[in-house]
Amino acid sequence: MTSHPDWGIRTKATDAARAFSSQIKDRYILITGVSRTSIGEALALAIAAQGPALLILASRTRSRLDEVAAEIRSIRPSTAVMTVQVDLLSQDSVRRAAAQISAAVPRLDVLVNNAGMVTQTRRTSPDGVEAQFATNHLGPFLLTNLLAPKLLAAAGVVAAAADGHGSVASARVVNVSSLGLRLSPVRFHDYNVEGKEVPPEERGPPDDKVPKGFIAASEDGYRGFVAYGQSKTANVLFAVGLTERLKGRGVLAFAVHPGSIWTNLSRDLNDEGYATIASTAKDWKSPDEGASTIVVAAFDPALNEPSGTFLSDCQYFEPPAYATDPEIAEKLWSLSEELVHEKFDPLSKL
């Protein structure tokens, strides 16, 4: 159970951050996917008000980063802000960003993998991977593992500071997923979404069980929403795999569904894609409301003894079993290592 079981769909990140101010103060926090009118911006503003030691903002576009950083500095001039340009589609860019961050901080208390994309047009990363899987999963997987020594350093500080009553949160990784994960498991036999045959356990729901727009294919056969669903499932499985490796050292990982929010994430959708999403969401959230579940996952001390991996509307939520199965999580970890050309044992990097 969370600390605030009464919180829900209308809870705001600003209020949640205020409630967890002692968990935020003096901590080193990294947020990816920060731009104006986004969940990342709302999260950054909420956290900045509570006195972190350093707020690191990362995004693909320098101008977007600078706008949000300037806003924070104007509202909270005492808050230290660092900006890092990173394109999660490119593994080279991720490695450069990780090196820059590692050189700048003694530790990393919270990493929020918020950046993402959704598109109905086939794109491929410079490393030859389908763009949504590369951006939404592989980029965060690589970034997190490269920063694991800093997360473990933070966990050591947390352990030294804890008073035995759970007043200090563990070091945390939060992956921003989506209930779009219901559209597809990870397609291990077709992770580039090329239309290859996959076994039953890697298939999404039957076509007659989902809105037509979610299964529509482009002229080249690309099913963009299926690719998106796969990447969002991967976000949860990555949290499962990371927690399994690091929970004994004071680092926990969670995945969250922020809710339905119109942000620039949808900028690459066509008219049919917009209409499909608009027809399926019942309750729209503001970015401030959308960021609240991230705040809970990142800072709620009640989650130090987790009873799940996935949260929605500020509470634990049970996703499909294929998103939390430990064996599937291990299979994804191995595939991810193969695709980033590096094996990761976070504890060996200390």
CA–CA distance, 83 with 101 (Å, rounded to integer): 9
User: Looking at this protein, which amino acid is placed at residue 168?
Assistant: V
Strand partners, 124: 130
b vs e for 8-38, b when ≥16 Cβ sit within 10 Å of the residue's Cβ?
Answer: ebebbbbbbbebbeebbeebbbbbbbbbeeb
b vs e for 96-123, b when ≥16 Cβ sit within 10 Å of the residue's Cβ?
Answer: ebbebbeeebebbbbbbbbbbbbbbebb
The pLDDT of residue 262 is 66
- Are 227 and 221 contacting, i.e. CB atoms less than 8 angstroms apart? no
C-alpha 5: how far from its chain's center? 22
> How many DSSP H helices and E strands does the chain contain?
14, 8
Q: Please give the DSSP secondary-structure letter assigned to residue 284.
A: B
Structural domains of the chain sorted by starting position, each given as residue range(s) with its CATH number in brackets: 13-343 (3.40.50.720)
User: Looking at this protein, which amino acid is placed at residue 279?
Assistant: S
Q: What are the strands, taking DSSP E only, across the chain?
A: 28-32, 54-59, 81-85, 110-113, 171-176, 251-257, 310-312, 315-316
Q: Work out the end-to-end distance of the chain between its first and last CA atoms, rounded to an integer number of angstroms.
A: 32
Question: CB within 8 A of 287, min separation 6: which ones?
Answer: 37, 38, 39, 41, 42, 261, 263
CA–CA distance, 23 with 269 (Å, rounded to integer): 38
Give per-residue pLDDT as tens, 12-22.
999 999 999 99
CA–CA distance, 350 with 346 (Å, rounded to integer): 8
- Are 291 and 13 contacting, i.e. CB atoms less than 8 angstroms apart? yes
CA–CA distance, 310 with 14 (Å, rounded to integer): 21
CA distances from 137 to 125, 158, 178 (A): 12, 27, 13
The pLDDT of residue 163 is 46
The pLDDT of residue 279 is 64
- Per the structure block, which two tokens stand in for 210? 């989902």
Mean pLDDT by 10 residues, the chain (350 residues): 98 99 98 96 98 98 97 97 99 99 98 96 97 99 98 81 52 97 98 97 88 80 95 99 93 97 60 62 89 98 95 98 98 98 72
Q: 28-32 and 315-316 as β-strands: parallel, antiparallel, unpaired?
A: unpaired
- Are 252 and 306 contacting, i.e. CB atoms less than 8 angstroms apart? yes
Crossing angle for the helix pair 139-146 and 326-340, nearest 10 degrees? 90
